[in-house]
Amino acid sequence: MSSAQSTYAEQPTRAAGSPVGLPRLLAGIPAHGSLDLAEHHSLHGPLPQMTRHRRRRSELIAEIERSGLRGRGGANFPTAQKLEAVAGSRGRPIVVINAAEGEPASHKDATLTRALPHLVLDGGELAVQALGASELIVAVNESAIAGFESLATAIAERGTSARSSARIRLVGVPDRYVAGQETALISHLNGVSALPTFTPPLPFQHGVARRPTLVSNAETFAHVALIARHGAHWFRELGTGAQPGSALVTLSGPVAYPGVYEIECGAPLGSLVDAAGGLSAPARALLLGGYGGSWVPAEHLDSLCFSEEQLALYGASPGAGVVVVLSENACPVAETARLARWLAGESAGQCGPCLHGLEALATSLETIAGQDAHAATRERVEQLLALVRRRGACAHPDGSARLIQSAIDTFESEFDEHARYGTCERCLAPPELPLMQPRRTRHLSTRRSSLSPARQP
């Protein structure tokens, strides 16, 4: 299996055609600024015309199904199934490109929207055509100024050449961990609040304005744009049978060149670290899938491969393509306590077990990381983990519990050391895991910014 991967900083500009190998999504990506429409067309060619019949399945959906594309937002759901569900619902659909990344260690969608906005918009436009949708909404973090501006410029550029009559709206989303979740995003777009809601109904049933709504993340739409041009067979030339194609990964921690990389699905993670210039300090462990993900000891780095089925062997998953390397210099107990405090701060505060359970977990972990640890506190953490799992409207408590449980299992000896001797000298080292400042209720507002209604129905 090929293990090619590449960094956006090193991409040569590729001429239009049918590229084999990598880069695909990141082909021609500029180090600064973004590709304009003319550059985008000279690289990838024009958007193909895909047929849509009222009674028959759309050509795009059939091709996406053949490609085996799965969503790159973390849930790994088959994209064709999502499209099909929206197409089969009553009412004129709405398409939402979700480029809002609440995960502090993920920058892939921000990178795509900042540098390659037309590739993402192409995918959205194809979905609009395939579904006969009336509106395309692009949701980005309020703080992602560069992505916002780049998308606004790209939407204006496409204004006169667009094939569909769908309106395009660019909407800011609060910088909260849970705000990018599908139901929270729908709630925000409906002018309520960026909070997850209980399901059903799912967005394909009642989404924006109670209309059937397709929500997929920005990277998924970029893949759709390339599959429509080059076909399902081309897409499957990379990756595994169960997980074809390539994926974007945000790699951070002690590597020479942290950043966003494109990796073949199923490729060894060791080759990703090599592409990033190798480790700049001895590694203790890798956090896979983000802050709702799992730790894997660094000794497994050479045998880890980037796919659902292969990471599952280590109790992990690719999630939204986040890989964080933790160095030997860091204290994993102190880092876990810091992360637990941040995750507790990111609870939307509307489900009791999440609000109170995550707070109590953070406090117990801080006790363990500090001077007052004793065995009973560890037992208390285990009890609390059982209390928060599957007890929220969204996946936040489950993800937090998974991460904390994984830390306790992976760093068992370090937790034991802390229980016996209190703080260690590594506790004094600067924190390594990237976090955003906790943002409380002021971000739970209905604030919504809408730019560039470039096309009116």
Footprint of ligand SF4 on this chain (CB under 6 A)? 178, 195-196, 347-351, 354-355, 392-394, 396-397
* Residue number with CB closer to ligand SF4 (83 or 343): 343
What is the rounded distance in angstroms from the CA atom of residue 329 to the CA atom of residue 283? 8
Encoded tokens for 228:
């429509």
Encoded tokens for 179:
């705000």
* Residue number with CB closer to ligand SF4 (239 or 292): 292
* Residue number with CB closer to ligand SF4 (356 or 448): 356
Inter-residue contact 75 to 319 (CB < 8 Å): no
Q: How far is the CB of 188 from ligand SF4 (least distance, A)?
A: 13
Count the alpha carbons within 13 Å of 186 in the hemisphere toward its beta carbon.
25
In the bound state, the residue with its beta carbon closest to ligand SF4 is 392
Using CB atoms within 10 Å of the CB of residue 241, give its burial: 0 to 12 exposed, 13 to 18 middle, 19+ buried: exposed
Q: How far is the CB of 340 from ligand SF4 (least distance, A)?
A: 14
* Residue number with CB closer to ligand SF4 (266 or 399): 399
Cβ within 8 Å of residue 38, ≥6 positions away: none
What Rg do the C-alpha atoms of the chain give, in angstroms?
22
Q: How far is the CB of 438 from ligand SF4 (least distance, A)?
A: 13
* Residue number with CB closer to ligand SF4 (394 or 451): 394
Q: How far is the CB of 452 from ligand SF4 (least distance, A)?
A: 31
What is the rounded distance in angstroms from the CA atom of residue 148 to the CA atom of residue 220? 18
Inter-residue contact 223 to 235 (CB < 8 Å): yes
Q: How far is the CB of 441 from ligand SF4 (least distance, A)?
A: 12
* Residue number with CB closer to ligand SF4 (112 or 344): 344
Cβ within 8 Å of residue 284, ≥6 positions away: 297, 298, 326, 327, 328, 330, 332
* Residue number with CB closer to ligand SF4 (124 or 174): 174
Q: How far is the CB of 363 from ligand SF4 (least distance, A)?
A: 17
* Residue number with CB closer to ligand SF4 (28 or 196): 196
Cβ within 8 Å of residue 100, ≥6 positions away: 109, 139, 140, 141, 173, 179, 180, 185
* Residue number with CB closer to ligand SF4 (147 or 399): 399
φ, ψ of residue 295 in degrees (nearest 5): -90, 145
Inter-residue contact 435 to 338 (CB < 8 Å): yes
Q: How far is the CB of 201 from ligand SF4 (least distance, A)?
A: 16
Helix (H, G, I), strand (E, B) or coil at 377: helix
Q: How far is the CB of 179 from ligand SF4 (least distance, A)?
A: 10
Inter-residue contact 140 to 151 (CB < 8 Å): yes
Q: How far is the CB of 437 from ligand SF4 (least distance, A)?
A: 17
